[in-house]
Structure 1
Amino acid sequence: MVEDWRQRWQQGRIGFHREAVHPALERHWPGLGVDEGAKVLVPLCGKSLDMRWLADRGHPVLGIELAEEAIEQFLAEGAGEVSRYHHAHFAVSRQGNVELWCGDFFHLHIDEAAEIGAFYDRAALIALPEAARQRYAFHLAQLLPPGARGLLITLTRAPGDSGGPPYEVTADEVHERFSPNFEVTHLEDGEREPGSGFRESIWKLVRRGPGR
């Protein structure tokens, strides 16, 4: 999976990348109730412009990305000095209020996520095959403190289309994967996209506390 992901970036096969901020982020983030200045975790972040949008609104951003190519493109397309260092399993680059950790999301330890108070997932869960999605949901829950909240964007494919990535994640699967550790609220379904047949669904997730 790692090598395939890197090849996609090297060959420019990044149709999943959006050249604009996701409109669902702009619509729904202000209503999530995320604390002002909370640090936002963005798993499998690519070079998403959504990270700059979050940073411009006062949120430190921690993006995790496997492909070095994606991180270098994000930095080259941005402005400001870049600082670099290594931490445990990750090569870290920082530009402004955005910190990008190059490595495996599943290697991110809870101690390294101590300051995280929110998350944003537009293309992480749907990039993972079914066997890895339960692991992802559990690991995300481990990294987030009670009360942490965020936005999850999933998609369904056209009837009869079972390909991927991106993979189809149904509403039933969202509840199955996340309800044990999160309060799950469905916010909206988008229109089915012409050509691809994809239809996005937007979810608000709030990390449950003990006994909830």
Structure 2
Amino acid sequence: MREQWLKRWREGRIGFHLAQTHPALVRHWKALEVPRRAKILVPLCGKSLDMRWLSELGHPVLGVELAPEAIEQFLAQRSGEISRYHQAGFDIARQGSVELWQGDFFHLHIRQVDEVEAFYDRASLIALPPATRQRYALHLAQLVPPRAKGLLISLQHCDDDAGPPYSVSQEEIDELFMPNFRLAKLEEGAPDERGFVESVWALERRGPLT
């Protein structure tokens, strides 16, 4: 999976990237009532413009991305001073209030995200094959504190084995996240021209891990 993802970015096969802020983020983020200065974790962030939108609301953003091409393309979208440093296996670039960690999300340790108070997943869960999604849900729960809120945007389509983006059913979302998060479905769209159905979820981290 790791090499396939890196190859997609090297070859520019990134049809999942939106050239605008995701409309569901704009519609639903403020309703979560995340404190204005809360730091937001964005796993598998790519070069998403959603991070700019969150930072413009006043949030510091910590994005984690495996592909260096994604990070460099994000930084090139805007002028502005870039500071770079290295920490515990991650190459880190900071531009304004957006901090991008280049490396494996599963190697991220809770000590490195101790200031995170909320999270946003637009294309992380659906980028992962079934065997990895349970590990992802548990790792996310380990990284964010109790009562941390987040937004999850997922997809469902007719070919469960095809991806990314992979199809993730409501039943699987419940199974993955309900042990450690409170879940509420905020919306479900109509099928698009590919037959993809997008759903949006609000999550809130429960107490101790189960």
Q: TM-score range by the shorter chain?
A: over 0.9
SS at match of 2:198: strand
Residue from 196, 205, 208 that aligns with 2:206: 208
Q: How far does residue 176 in structure 1 lie from its aligned partner after superposition?
A: 0.3
Within a 5 Å distance, the mapping from 1:122-141 to structure 2 comes to: 122-141=122-141
Partner of 1:188: 187
Give the structure 2 partner of residue 22 of structure 1. Answer: 22
Match of 1:199 in 2: 197
**1:173 matched to which residue of 2?**
172
Alpha-carbon distance change, 160 to 97 in structure 1, aligned in 2, over 3 angstroms: closer
- Cα displacement string for residues 139-188 of structure 1 (whole angstroms, at most 9, x for unaligned residues): 0000010110000011001x356311110110000110000000000000
Inter-partner Cα distance in structure 1 for 2:111 and 2:131: 26
Aligned to 2:65: 65
CA deviation profile, 1:20-39 (whole Å, cap 9, x unmatched): 10000000000001112100
2:160–2:167 Cα contact (<8 Å) kept: no
> Residues 56-99 of structure 1, C-alpha deviation per residue, up to 9 Å, x if partnerless?
00000000000000000000112211100000010000000100
Q: Structure 1 residues 160 and 36, CA, compared in 2 at 3 Å: closer, same or farther?
A: closer
Question: Which ranges in structure 2 are unaligned for 5 or more consecutive residues?
Answer: none
User: For residue 28 of structure 1, what is the amino acid of its counterpart?
Assistant: H
Alignment-derived partner of residue 163 in structure 1? 162
The one-letter amino acid of 1:3's match is E
| 2:148 pairs with 1:148 | yes
How many aligned residue pairs are there? 210
> Identity percentage over the alignment?
63
Q: Measure, in 2, the Cα distance between the counterparts of 1:170 and 1:160.
A: 11
Structure-to-structure mapping, 1:73-152, within 5 angstroms: 73-152=73-152
Q: Secondary structure at the match of 2:119?
A: strand
Matches of 1:82 and 1:47, distance apart in 2: 15
Secondary structure of the corresponding residue to residue 187 of structure 2: strand
Structure 1: any 5+ residue segments left out of the alignment? none
Q: TM-score, normalised by structure 1?
A: 0.96
TM-score normalised over the length of structure 2? 0.97
For residues 140 and 106 of structure 1, what CA distance do their matches in structure 2 show? 9
Superposed CA RMSD: 1.3
